Structure 1
Amino acid sequence: MSGPNGAPRDITSWFVGQLLANGKIANGKRPGIGSALIGLGGILVDKGLTLRWFKNQVQNGGPWDFKNNALKGDKTAGILFAGTHYRYDMPGNFHYGYVGTMAGFSASTLESAAGYAQLKAGTSKPDYWCTSFDDPEDNAYVRLGIALADSKGLSITAADVDAVLKKFKHTTCGKPDRFMQVVIDQLF
């Protein structure tokens, strides 16, 4: 839902609230000491259950799929966070990285899963090879969400989020090596 006269709407307070609330929920889903005491089997089962739960939260149409739910009406105008304009899908990608990290997933797991989802949806491109086949801009925001979780945990403010977002850098994939070109040729 755009702001007045189709202008981007400010989601600063709402978005920080989502990061904090969902980060706490995700942190509570981390495989715990109980599964470690059971042994490797318990850890793997616990991690698998957490991964399935997380996928259900963030998948297309899931409760944390902001671009198709809470921000669906903001596609054209985009959104504002702390006075800066962003595409309407930035919050979902940033949230995915932040909350996924709070759930205990590594950066490589989160980035690979995002690329897999993009491939499965048929929206990936060969040029995305260096970002696990995820859209490079989406990947950059996922990485920034991961960075915030790693540096601040659950103690975040709007200023913290804004400072991390200001570090955005678009990734451009260069020419792949021969091995990666074979992979790309098989995928596309």
Structure 2
Amino acid sequence: MAQMEFYFNDDDRKELFNFIQLKGGKFIPDVGYETDNYIIIADCEEFMHYQRSETTHFFLIDAKYSLEPLQINRNKYIDKPAYFIDQRIGGPYIDFSFYRGYSDDAVIPFMKSLIEMYPKFIHFDSSQEFKATIELKGYYNEIMLYIKNKCNLILIGKKKYWISINVQKEIGQD
């Protein structure tokens, strides 16, 4: 699985959301739904609301690389109807996580973000796997390039961290 950790503040996250939305990308919050329809986040304000209070995990889809709808199923173990998106079924998609805080012993005392891309997905109407598309990989790489251009690669100990210029100023590492 391809993945990258990075450190963005709220302004950086808003700019990333707007960049992806201008490309045609659509963020879907990984939350429980009352029906079998998921929400596509409409704007930056709604994105920040979900990121701050509803979930840290989002699916990113785009017609440029998505071949199938995401699979959403009812959780049969809950009395009240509750639907959730199945991981790796349909799509393909890109995963984003935008954490809200950090631990006291964190090397970087700031909220971490994560972008991930699975190498394989499962068709929504069968159990057959399919590989991530070339279009998905290209899209993922464009986003990674955007993130890296907003960051400096900082060596702390023996590990390198992608930290945005704004975060560096906030934590005093500029």
Alignment TM-score, normalising by the size of structure 2 = 0.27
Which one scores higher on RCO, CA 8 angstroms, separation ≥ 6?
Answer: 2
Higher strand share: 2
Alignment TM-score, normalising by the size of structure 1 = 0.25
